[in-house]
Amino acid sequence: MSRIGVFVCHCGHNIAGTVDVKAVVEQLQRNGDVVFAIDYKYMCSDPGQQLIRESIEKYQLDGVVVAACSPAMHESTFRRTVSAAGLNGFRCESANIREQVSWVHQQDKEAATQKAIEIAESIVEKVKSNETLEPLILPLTHRTLVIGGGIAGMQAALDIAEAGYPVILVERQDHLGGRMAELSGSYLNFQAAPDLLEKKIQQVLNHPNIQTLLNAEVDGLSGYVGNFRVTVEQKPSATDGAVVALDELEPLRFTFDVGAIVVASGWQPYDRARLTEYGGADIPDVVDGLTFEKMLRSGEVIRRPSDGKIAREVVFVQCAGSRDPEHGVSYCSKVCCMYVAKQAMLYKERVPNGQAYVFYIDIRSAGKNYDEYVQRAMTDYGVLYLRGKVSRVFREGDQTIVWGSDTLTGRAVEIAADLVVLATPMLPSHGSTELGQLLHISTDGYGFFNEAHPKLRPVETLTAGIYLAGVAQGPKDIPEAVSQASGAAAKVLQLFSKNEMTASPLVASVIEEYCAACGACVKVCPYGARQIHPIWNYATVNAALCQGCGACVVACPNKASQVRNWRVEQVMGMVDVLL
């Protein structure tokens, strides 16, 4: 006979308002395996937990059933309570009489009470044969792979490296800095982006904990959180072979064991050639925002690309290809309102007697000091903001004509411009969907990586140990990308704060003598946790990958696959009690 204690929670009126908790206690007291049963107002409160702890000692309990809320809510709470009293946590189970009983059967109190009794009885039956288990201990490699050497990737790498852990930083291009290296300056304070960036790059390159691989791409991934194995291919660089032509050199291959991965693969601009109505394909004096950054970087006066004449009338077109499912993407690219204001002001500094126009749908300058910055463009720099869309851009002689509407005056506007700057949206960098497939993390319809939760888990992916930083996850500006990178680094450090990982022991196991090595479990396992042992010829379980879902138990014709504490005979025993 077992010595099980049953603790029935009122949850205020949540349960006791519908279920006759005294009747549940009385009925359970009659169970031969139950030596003690009691009800209490809030079992999860400190006095409630104390009641459980004291009862374990007083009645020498060897198992605990808490008839209360869903195990998703407080299973871990009560297992901790039980452990504190010296009983193995896995000898404690929750019987859900709130979500599955009182909340859904408020109209029929008698039936609800009967159902609560049956559920509690069935959980008593389960606890009787629950094994005493310890958490699984898994090794943890304290090394991180960062994919992408832009500002987000570098920030994440530096934060992790500063905490004392080695980082492998893989960058596809032959230099660090990413898209930020193409910018003339950053908004808010005009501080030159190249200077800001150069400092970061030097910090990364000189950091003893960061190994940077340029011209390199990740091309293979196996393993799981704490124990990933990645392969990286690096194109030979010019310094590797001065005599031999580069394309004759074999690429270098590396394999690294890492515990965590930060994906910061960045972005690319929308191809302006696809905006035919704006002359993006064939008018030489129509450029996109990133091209205009290059023109600003030179530090010289702004000239027309077509003939080198000074550009005296410049039109900026916001939302060129964004918020426009007909011609481009549906989303707002978020950074354009701000960088257009910056570009217009920098233009006015280079060509003081020139005129800058900005066509906008609305100004999205949400951020600390952001709106003030846009207003400076209007008031201090005389940039003319026109609220409306541009309908057409075409060539007339050596000028570029812009047709648009000004919805504040209600008039159609025609501007003969020297230069038109299309504020095209950010797209995920090319190959991001393929990278997502390689890493088993999902992307949205555009190729941006999906976060685990849009509000509460914005830097994690649904694959444990893989984190996101920067525009790879969605359009954002430099301060946001840096914040997210530091957030991702904090998540990595949280993982690395332990020497090894613990995992739930409630995973599948195999009774080897029953196993026919048919492979049914390998096929159904959604986590890739199963394989047939190559020598012993029976199915094995990778306990780190197994999530205890039980698909293999159902698939296994011999019932050799079992999930711990959900063994077939346990479940059948519970069913017997219910019937």
Say which residue the tokens 């969907």 belong to: 433
Burial (0-12, 13-18, 19+ Cβ within 10 Å), 282: exposed
The contact pattern for another protein, residues 343-382, with x = CB under 8 A and - = no contact, is ----------------------------------------
Q: Does 80 bind another protein (CB under 8 A)?
A: no
- The closest of 181, 163, 171 to 146, measured between CA atoms, is 171
Hey, which residues between 212 and 271 contact another protein (CB under 8 A)? none
Q: Does 413 bind another protein (CB under 8 A)?
A: no
CA distances 203 to 66, 211, 236, 393, 479, Å, are 55, 12, 24, 45, 18
When the beta carbons of 352 and 397 are compared against another protein, the nearer one is 397
When the beta carbons of 389 and 564 are compared against another protein, the nearer one is 389
Three-class secondary structure assignment of 452-469 = CECCCECCECCCCCEEEC
Burial (0-12, 13-18, 19+ Cβ within 10 Å), 288: buried
Say which residue the tokens 């300056």 belong to: 185
Q: Does 66 bind another protein (CB under 8 A)?
A: no
Quick one: which segment of 25-33, 90-98, 254-262, 396-404 binds another protein (CB under 8 A)?
Answer: 396-404
One of 45, 191, 276, 409 touching another protein (CB under 8 A): 276
Identity (one letter) of the amino acid at 437? Q
Q: Does 46 bind another protein (CB under 8 A)?
A: no
When the beta carbons of 324 and 480 are compared against another protein, the nearer one is 324
Q: Does 544 bind another protein (CB under 8 A)?
A: no
When the beta carbons of 46 and 282 are compared against another protein, the nearer one is 282
When the beta carbons of 275 and 295 are compared against another protein, the nearer one is 275
Q: Does 283 bind another protein (CB under 8 A)?
A: no
Nearest-approach distance from CB 276 to another protein, in angstroms = 4
The contact pattern for another protein, residues 305-344, with x = CB under 8 A and - = no contact, is ----------------------x-----------------
When the beta carbons of 248 and 396 are compared against another protein, the nearer one is 396
Supply the DSSP string of 179-243, one letter for each residue: GGGG-S--TTT---HHHHHHHHHHHHHH-TTEEEESSEEEEEEEEETTEEEEEEEEPPPTTT-SS
How far is the C-alpha of 401 from the C-alpha of 542, rounded, in Å? 65
Q: Does 298 bind another protein (CB under 8 A)?
A: no
Quick one: which segment of 72-80, 189-197, 393-401, 415-423 binds another protein (CB under 8 A)?
Answer: 393-401
Nearest-approach distance from CB 304 to another protein, in angstroms = 19
One of 22, 294, 309, 392 touching another protein (CB under 8 A): 392
How far from the centroid of its chain's Cα atoms is residue 198's Cα? 28
Hey, which residues between 197 and 216 contact another protein (CB under 8 A)? none
Nearest-approach distance from CB 406 to another protein, in angstroms = 18
How far is the C-alpha of 539 from the C-alpha of 556, rounded, in Å? 10
Quick one: which segment of 289-297, 392-400, 491-499, 535-543 binds another protein (CB under 8 A)?
Answer: 392-400
End-to-end CA distance of the chain: 22
Q: Does 410 bind another protein (CB under 8 A)?
A: no
How far is the C-alpha of 107 from the C-alpha of 537, rounded, in Å? 56
When the beta carbons of 394 and 446 are compared against another protein, the nearer one is 394
Q: Please give the DSSP secondary-structure letter assigned to residue 91.
A: G
Identity (one letter) of the amino acid at 153? G
- Token pair for 354: 């020139």
Quick one: which segment of 144-152, 180-188, 219-227, 394-402 binds another protein (CB under 8 A)?
Answer: 394-402
Nearest-approach distance from CB 361 to another protein, in angstroms = 19
Quick one: which segment of 10-18, 71-79, 209-217, 391-399 binds another protein (CB under 8 A)?
Answer: 391-399
Nearest-approach distance from CB 315 to another protein, in angstroms = 15
Q: Does 99 bind another protein (CB under 8 A)?
A: no
When the beta carbons of 276 and 558 are compared against another protein, the nearer one is 276
Q: Please give the DSSP secondary-structure letter assigned to residue 450.
A: P
One of 396, 497, 513, 534 touching another protein (CB under 8 A): 396
Question: Pairing state of beta strands 561-563 and 4-9?
Answer: unpaired
Nearest-approach distance from CB 384 to another protein, in angstroms = 22
CA distances 104 to 19, 73, 99, 114, Å, are 11, 17, 7, 14
One of 401, 459, 468, 495 touching another protein (CB under 8 A): 401
How far is the C-alpha of 32 from the C-alpha of 4, rounded, in Å? 9
How far is the C-alpha of 472 from the C-alpha of 329, rounded, in Å? 16
- Token pair for 519: 């492979």
- The residue count for binding another protein (CB under 8 A) is 9
One of 72, 104, 137, 281 touching another protein (CB under 8 A): 281
The number of CA neighbours under 13 Å toward the Cβ of 412 is 6
When the beta carbons of 275 and 492 are compared against another protein, the nearer one is 275
Nearest-approach distance from CB 531 to another protein, in angstroms = 46
> Angle 130-133-137 (CA atoms, 0-180°, nearest 5)?
155
Identity (one letter) of the amino acid at 157? A
Nearest-approach distance from CB 319 to another protein, in angstroms = 16
The helix (H) or strand (E) run that includes residue 145 is strand 144-147
CA distances 488 to 114, 140, 258, 451, 480, Å, are 49, 18, 15, 11, 12
Nearest-approach distance from CB 288 to another protein, in angstroms = 17
- Token pair for 303: 């000239």
One of 42, 254, 381, 403 touching another protein (CB under 8 A): 403
Q: Does 399 bind another protein (CB under 8 A)?
A: no
One of 103, 381, 394, 566 touching another protein (CB under 8 A): 394
Residues near another protein, by CB under 8 A: 276-277, 281, 327, 392, 394, 396, 401, 403
